[in-house]
Chain A
Amino acid sequence: MTQTTGPKGLSRRQLLSRATAAGASFVVGTGFMAAKDAAWAMETSALKPETFATLVQMARDIYPHDKVGDEYYVVAVKGYDTPEAAGGIEAGIAALNAAAQGKGHASYLDAAWERDRVDILRGMEDSAFFQQIRGGLVTGLYNQKAVWPIFGYEGSSFEFGGYIDRGFNDINWL
């Protein structure tokens, strides 16, 4: 996780979290992106491995994009794998599993259909934990530069001379 310091000592994390609706919000560096190997990326330092795996599934269920690989969701929530954040996340995931059990599943991950997991999440969507994870994903997932091409978004264009000669008006189906 990068923590570039902005003007007046506000870290980027602070500014982004002020800008997004609720909860913590992580700015994600590209450092993890080398980790195409999901097994490596799933290694944890502060969270229990099954907690982290559940968190990654939860992230995908909140913002499901079938064409976006797991590694991007891993990166999006990797920032919670710290000693400071771990307590809250363990508690949140425990509550998620308890909610799953209340609906007849052994655990959240054990609910095999997305609709069942979404049903569990709907039941807790007003909780601070859910809002923390969802709010963080808005930047944690969609502000990863490596994700942009999957959606076709081209990002910075100045260095390529803008789009004046690169298709700003190339639509051909109207």
Chain B
Amino acid sequence: MAAPFDLNDDSVVVIIGTGAGGGVLANELAQKGVSVVALEAGGRHLPEDFINDEWESFGQLAWLDPRTTSGDWRVAKDFSGLPAWIVKSVGGTTQHWAGASLRFQEHEWKAATTYGNVQGASLLDWPIDAAEMDPWYTKAEDKLGVTRTGDRPGLPGNNNYKVFEAGAKALGYKEVHTGRMAINSDENRDRAMCQQTGFCFQGCKWGAKWSAGYVDIPQGEATGNLEVRSQAHVARILHDDTGKVTGVEYFDADGNLQMQKARVVCVAGNSFESPRLLLNSASSMFPDGLANSSGQVGRNYMRHMTGSVYAVFDKPVRFWRGTTMAGIIQDEARHDPSRGFVGGYELETLALGLPFMAAFLDPGAWGREFTSALDEYENMAGMWIVGEDMPQETNRVTLNHDVKDQYGLPVANVHFDDHPNDIAMRNHAYKQGAAVYDAVGATRTFPTPPYPSTHNLGTNRMSENARDGVVNKWGQTHDIANLFISDGSQFTTGAAENPTLTIVALAIRQADHLASELSKGNI
């Protein structure tokens, strides 16, 4: 049967969320002839709709339903109702993302083995490794059109990059380039070439940057096998007496509750909403929530060790011009405990417009120390730090029954405490980042605290043994054979690299596995 599908059609695969994980899975399954209904809480926003204005774009695309926070992380104080900067739209957070697309390093698949016992950390090896993932990474790089992979040239460096590169070279860093970016660097592809508009975080109006929203979703729909229902917020996953999932309940665009039957359900709502949905689906058979016999649903929340370093120079940089994040130093990504921490970090160029710089440079700060920095906005350069953070059982998403969303459902509370390893790594990175800029004559540098989390990982983690996590190496829940997790919440550990290429590679791999199991009648 061709899309659209009937609510009672129990042969379809239902995918919840259409971001990096869900959007890619939907397209890949549709390409293989599988019938898919994708339910997306957000609306449809295409390149022509995007807005070159930070706050307006944020209002258009960001996830603003209520959430609460706790823990010692500074975000809980500065942005207590906004633990994450993620998107509610067809295409999910790939609408806002910058496009940095890096593979994990080989040892990062085996963090527990490589790092040994780290007190307070719930490290675990992934049940898959670099060799297993290599072909899937290649497919993901081809899909996203990642620069400096395949035959794709790198992007040209913008002003922010040139400062960053000169400083990095002066310091002796070797692995410095304009990044592996899911942004088109030449004319001869199916997407437009990057025009250096500098609003990558606001959705690329040229479509030069890959987004599931305007690349994978339309491709899937063109097969006739994919139906995307936007403004469809899934409230609960349903199951039968045998413990198999049978469908989902969702609120449609008019706020009416609907029920869609399903043969398989794949959850891809990002790392807060995915565990929240499993927990909100508790029943008399599964009183602690679906797929939660291990008690691991919602635990081991990771957000990457992040921070930024901004610097002021005595001459103009105009760092907002051009790609937001096309620049990287990889020398510190290695695992080298002699630095005082396990794991590593990447340094990546980053620019914010004046409105976001005012909000994020030093949240809560005021007075001349703060404003004299903004006075030099034109002379600023900036970089973002992204490193591996330690999974901790107590960093977790739970239901906050005291706060309800617009549908009356308990919201996610996000608890996060920094691990001492995260703090040691951040301090090291602040020093190195400042040194990069000092090497080219910075007059002032700023160790800027983490923003609301853009990378959200690990709350339904992948594990060899059912007792240690929520899903197996295919993203299939250990407890329920026809329930899958397809987003960043599967991550066993976070590695130093931006996560999306890995989310996409896992989704392509999962689609392959799922289609084959479906055709064999195993699910």
- In angstroms, Cα B322 to Cα A16, docked, is 26
Residues on B with C-beta less than 8 A from A163 are 158, 195-198, 321-322
Residues on B with C-beta less than 8 A from A67 are 375
Residues on B with C-beta less than 8 A from A166 are 321
- In angstroms, Cα B409 to Cα A23, docked, is 26
Q: Is A104 an interface residue (CB 8 A)?
A: no
Residues in A139-174 with C-beta less than 8 Å from chain B? 139, 141-143, 147-148, 151-159, 161-164, 166-171, 173-174
- In angstroms, Cα B378 to Cα A170, docked, is 13
Are B53 and A155 in touch, CB under 8 angstroms?
yes
Are A174 and B440 in touch, CB under 8 angstroms?
yes
Residues on A with C-beta less than 8 A from B156 are 168-169
Among B59, B206, B363, contact of A12 (Cβ-Cβ < 8 Å):
B59
Q: Across the two chains, which residue of chain B brings its CB closest to A66?
A: B375
Are B59 and A15 in touch, CB under 8 angstroms?
yes
Are B368 and A157 in touch, CB under 8 angstroms?
no
Among B78, B194, B363, B371, contact of A63 (Cβ-Cβ < 8 Å):
B371
Proximity string of chain A (7-32) to chain B, C-beta cutoff 8 Å, 1 when within and 0 when not: 11010100110111100000100000
Q: A167-B318, A169-B157, A171-B159 are in contact. Are A63 and B370 (CB under 8 A)?
A: yes
Residues in B349-378 with C-beta less than 8 Å from chain A? 353-355, 357-359, 363-364, 366-368, 370-371, 374-375, 377-378
Residues on B with C-beta less than 8 A from A18 are 64, 81-82
Residues in B366-418 with C-beta less than 8 Å from chain A? 366-368, 370-371, 374-375, 377-378, 406
- In angstroms, Cα B205 to Cα A156, docked, is 11
Please indicate which of the listed interface residues A6, A19, A65 has the most CB atoms of chain B within 10 Å of its own CB: A19
Are A164 and B196 in touch, CB under 8 angstroms?
yes
Q: Is A138 an interface residue (CB 8 A)?
A: yes
Q: Is B52 an interface residue (CB 8 A)?
A: yes
Residues on A with C-beta less than 8 A from B317 are 171
Q: Is A111 an interface residue (CB 8 A)?
A: no
Q: Is A98 an interface residue (CB 8 A)?
A: no
Q: Is B166 an interface residue (CB 8 A)?
A: yes
Q: Across the two chains, which residue of chain A brings its CB closest to B193?
A: A164
Q: Is B315 an interface residue (CB 8 A)?
A: yes
- In angstroms, Cα B79 to Cα A16, docked, is 11
Residues on A with C-beta less than 8 A from B162 are 169, 171, 174
Give B350 Cβ to nearest chain A Cβ, in Å. 15
Proximity string of chain A (67-110) to chain B, C-beta cutoff 8 Å, 1 when within and 0 when not: 10000000000000000000000000000000000000000000
Residues on A with C-beta less than 8 A from B375 are 65, 67, 151
Are B320 and A154 in touch, CB under 8 angstroms?
yes
- In angstroms, Cα B374 to Cα A67, docked, is 12
Are A16 and B363 in touch, CB under 8 angstroms?
no
Give B11 Cβ to nearest chain A Cβ, in Å. 32
Q: A15-B59, A139-B55 are in contact. Are A152 and B199 (CB under 8 A)?
A: no
Residues on A with C-beta less than 8 A from B215 are none
Q: A19-B82, A143-B55, A163-B196 are in contact. Are A168 and B322 (CB under 8 A)?
A: yes
- In angstroms, Cα B456 to Cα A164, docked, is 33
Interface range on chain A: under 10, 10 to 19, 20 to 34, or 35 or more?
35 or more
Q: Is A42 an interface residue (CB 8 A)?
A: no
Give A43 Cβ to nearest chain B Cβ, in Å. 27
Q: Is the interface of B mostly helix, strand, loop or mixed?
A: loop
Q: Is B58 an interface residue (CB 8 A)?
A: yes
Are B197 and A162 in touch, CB under 8 angstroms?
yes
Among A8, A141, A155, A158, contact of B205 (Cβ-Cβ < 8 Å):
A158
Give A174 Cβ to nearest chain B Cβ, in Å. 5
Q: Is A62 an interface residue (CB 8 A)?
A: yes
Residues on A with C-beta less than 8 A from B60 are 6-7
Q: A6-B59, A118-B367, A151-B374 are in contact. Are A167 and B354 (CB under 8 A)?
A: no
Please indicate which of the listed interface residues B79, B82, B322 has the most CB atoms of chain A within 10 Å of its own CB: B322
Residues on A with C-beta less than 8 A from B197 are 157-158, 162-163
- In angstroms, Cα B440 to Cα A142, docked, is 29
Give B155 Cβ to nearest chain A Cβ, in Å. 10
Among A8, A142, A162, A173, contact of B358 (Cβ-Cβ < 8 Å):
A142
Please indicate which of the listed interface residues A12, A21, A61, A141 has the most CB atoms of chain B within 10 Å of its own CB: A21
Q: Is A49 an interface residue (CB 8 A)?
A: no
Residues on A with C-beta less than 8 A from B52 are 155-159
Q: Across the two chains, which residue of chain A brings its CB closest to B366?
A: A62
Give B403 Cβ to nearest chain A Cβ, in Å. 13
Are B377 and A151 in touch, CB under 8 angstroms?
yes
Residues on A with C-beta less than 8 A from B358 are 138, 141-142
Residues on B with C-beta less than 8 A from A64 are 367-368, 371
Give A106 Cβ to nearest chain B Cβ, in Å. 23
Residues on B with C-beta less than 8 A from A20 are 359
Q: Is B316 an interface residue (CB 8 A)?
A: yes
Residues in B62-99 with C-beta less than 8 Å from chain A? 62, 64, 78-82
Q: Is B266 an interface residue (CB 8 A)?
A: no
Are A148 and B322 in touch, CB under 8 angstroms?
no
Are A19 and B315 in touch, CB under 8 angstroms?
no
Are A162 and B354 in touch, CB under 8 angstroms?
no
Are A19 and B79 in touch, CB under 8 angstroms?
yes
- Can you add 8 more A-B contacts, CB < 8 Å, to A18-B82, A142-B358? A19-B62, A64-B368, A138-B358, A151-B374, A167-B318, A170-B159, A171-B316, A174-B166
Give 9 closest A-B pairs by Cβ, nearest first: A162-B195, A152-B378, A168-B322, A156-B52, A162-B197, A142-B358, A168-B196, A153-B354, A163-B321
25 inter-chain pairs at a CB distance below 8 angstroms, sorted by A residue, are A10-B59, A10-B64, A12-B56, A15-B64, A21-B80, A21-B363, A65-B371, A67-B375, A125-B366, A139-B55, A142-B354, A154-B321, A156-B52, A157-B321, A158-B52, A158-B197, A161-B195, A162-B198, A163-B197, A163-B322, A168-B196, A169-B158, A171-B317, A173-B315, A174-B166
